[in-house]
Structure 1
Amino acid sequence: MGTRAANNRSSVFQSTTDGRWYGFVTMGTKPDGSADRRKRSGRTQAEVTRKVRELERLRDENAKVAAGRSPRLSEWLEDWLKASALRVRPSSLYGYTTDVRAHISPAIGKHRVSDLEPEHVEYLYTVLLAKGLNVGTVHHVRRTLNKALNDAVRRQRIPRNPVTLAHTPRYDAPEIDPLTVAEARTLVAAAHDEPNGVAFMLAISLGLRRGEVLGLSWADIDLERGQLRVRQQLERRRWRHGCDDPERCDEKPAKCPERRDGGLVLAEPKTRQSRRTLPLPPQLVEALLQHRLAQRKARIYAGSEWHEQGLVFTTVTGRPIDPRDHSVHWVQFLERAGVRPARLHDARHTAATLLLVQGVDQRVVMDMLGWTSPTMTARYQHVVPGLVEEANRRMSELLWDDASASQPDITL
């Protein structure tokens, strides 16, 4: 029968109670500073000694091994969601939470994280497609699971990420369908007579996102210098329970009497590239001047009902415009202008397309649109045949310029 070892040393001994052998290994310290002692058991001394030596090897190689059995995937994902809340935007966290609780955990959440195989991930895809989810949604679920398991790899909970080895359903990104030049000109002209129509002008001409437009404040616009600064965006966040016991609250978060963290919120842009300064064409400067004058009149008319927040685009009482209402306004605006139906985001695609057609350098387009990856511009190449035509024209001028042809430079 073995004896207990001194502090910070491994020990192997036989229990006088049940006759089994037990081993303890000091792996280090826990997050709270207490000693991290791991226990292994077996029927024989040799079996336990082997388990103890394996733990010692992992400890000496500085490899982290979670105490006890590997957690089930559903448990790991819930812990991952809590950690993600510290570093991601509320909208991203909501998407992760939906993917985890509605799709991943019900399908494969009972598997131990250490036992996950690519086949389990492929089974998840099969289940989701059988439920009628589109391939785009399945890919969103894949990205969430991939992020979570990448963290498990980084923390040395598993040796490799099975998501990267699993076959993924083929996904073709939706075709970009920008407005034509004629349609864009029609809308810009019609926007002059539309309430908050300048917001649509900014989307078409500068490619601002919906939240960026609605989050603009007058402090972000320098009409004298003709510049606009994107530094915040308006977004709608989902409400959270504010009560002490959400599980016993009879209401959904949005109806909770002490709800918090929801509603329309001004937030920083998602990426560093999204924070940018753009020049304003003279026509936009004039349109913004007229818009500011109209807003001052609306403030006088609203009187005490006006809620001043310094925003460029507001309701008739100065409050922020709900992004969903702005999208509905866009659809109605297109119908009144006699232009085919299109998404509000297509106005941003239109700005990108028009810039590329005019031969603007792709790096400049990236900066203006606030893109983070050059692959974004590649998506537009097939919808701007003008780029090919312009390239051919320039090549013709270079190789078959008339002036050069009249005086050939021939060396014998």
Structure 2
Amino acid sequence: MSPLQLIGDRRARELTPSDIEAALRKLATVGGIKGKPLSHRSRTYALGALRQAFKFAQREGWLQGNPAALAKVQGKPAKTRQSQRWTVAQLQGFRAYVDSAYATPARLAAEPWVPAAMRLALCGLRRSEVLGLGWGSVDIEQGTVDIHVSRTASGPGRSTAIGAPKTANSVRRVAVETLHPGTHAVLRALWLAQGQPAEGLVIRDSLGDPVHPDTLSWRFKTLCSEAGVPFPGAIHATRHTLATALEEAGVPSNQGAALLGHDVQTYQRFYLVTDQDAAGAAATVAGSIFATASG
């Protein structure tokens, strides 16, 4: 269910913030799949989409106000993302373990796709983007990949569907070799193993079949255990790790958002994780500033 199913029959100029909040409350009870509650995060995304739609109408002179700008999502997120990221050292440790584990010929022959899939995920690609990547979008020599397709699970069984990326901002070029040196060699090895294809999906199993999303997630989880790093909840959490590391390194939010294929507002709201370590680091910096000032 979407907000339009609840307010789509109303005149836009007649809607109030209360009307929109009422629709969001309804989504919190029956808005999800099979009538299940829609998460706080999904309702926040829905409100954001409404705000953009009304903002466009204002710009075109169709409406005088933006009721969605004054509406709020009620309640709190079900859980925080405090543990859903790695430290830089943990990410490096995971990458090193995968490189080492799949240097074994037998393991690489059994799962030739794993090293490339994991490196692409560590570069901030969504799971659907990793699985939807085609060889025609890979520049092995330059070490870049172009994201303009996604592949997701569809319906029962092992079926998947190929479609457009999650958002317009998702269409981008990612310099994977720059992010993780050695990625071009991993991609080249997989390309050679597959017979140097000019097209077709990159992430295929040893039989040439597309890897299912659940298989990629399961392998990521088991590799976390093998590598001795905490499982961050989902492979998607590697994006949070990357975003936080970029922010701590002083990379502007617009650049980090572009790398992850998001708008700046979403990037800042959902990807920059705050926790006690961050609070302690900020206190240390603030203390040095104040100490210098008092001196």
TM-score for the superposition, normalised by structure 1: 0.49
1-structure distance, mates of 2:250, 2:11: 54
Corresponding residue for residue 201 of structure 1: 119
* 3-state SS in 2 of match to 1:351: helix
Structure with the larger RCO, 1 or 2 (CA within 8 Å, 6+ apart): 2
2-structure distance, mates of 1:373, 1:289: 33
Q: Deviations over 1:206-256 (max 9, x none)?
A: 22222222233334334434x2122323223758xxxxxxxxxxxxxx89x
What is the Cα deviation at residue 188 of structure 1?
1.1
- Higher-Rg member (1/2): 1
Corresponding residue for residue 201 of structure 2: 311
2-structure distance, mates of 1:150, 1:121: 15
Corresponding residue for residue 14 of structure 1: none
Q: Which amino acid aligns with 1:175?
A: R
1-structure distance, mates of 2:24, 2:182: 50
Corresponding residue for residue 93 of structure 2: 186
**CA 1:113/1:287 → structure 2, altered by over 3 Å: closer, same or farther?**
closer
Contact 2:85 2:240 in 1 (8 A): yes
Contact 2:3 2:23 in 1 (8 A): no
Corresponding residue for residue 108 of structure 2: none
What is the Cα deviation at residue 265 of structure 1?
1.4
2-structure distance, mates of 1:292, 1:357: 35
> What is the aligned counterpart of 2:274 among 369, 382, 402?
382
2-structure distance, mates of 1:114, 1:380: 35
TM-score for the superposition, normalised by structure 2: 0.65
Residue 214 (structure 2) pairs with residue 324 (structure 1) = yes
What is the Cα deviation at residue 180 of structure 1?
2.2
> What is the aligned counterpart of 1:365 among 237, 245, 256?
256
> What is the aligned counterpart of 1:169 among 74, 80, 99?
74
Corresponding residue for residue 35 of structure 1: none
**CA 1:353/1:111 → structure 2, altered by over 3 Å: closer, same or farther?**
closer
2-structure distance, mates of 1:314, 1:388: 43
% same residue:
24
* 3-state SS in 2 of match to 1:316: coil
Contact 1:116 1:162 in 2 (8 A): yes
Please identify which structure carries the higher strand content: 1
Q: Deviations over 1:333-367 (max 9, x none)?
A: 32333432221011122223334444555554344
**CA 1:186/1:295 → structure 2, altered by over 3 Å: closer, same or farther?**
farther
1-structure distance, mates of 2:258, 2:280: 19
Unmatched segments (≥5 aa) in structure 2: 31-35, 103-110
Unmatched segments (≥5 aa) in structure 1: 1-97, 240-253, 256-261, 300-306, 400-412
Contact 2:221 2:231 in 1 (8 A): yes
Residue 161 (structure 2) pairs with residue 264 (structure 1) = yes
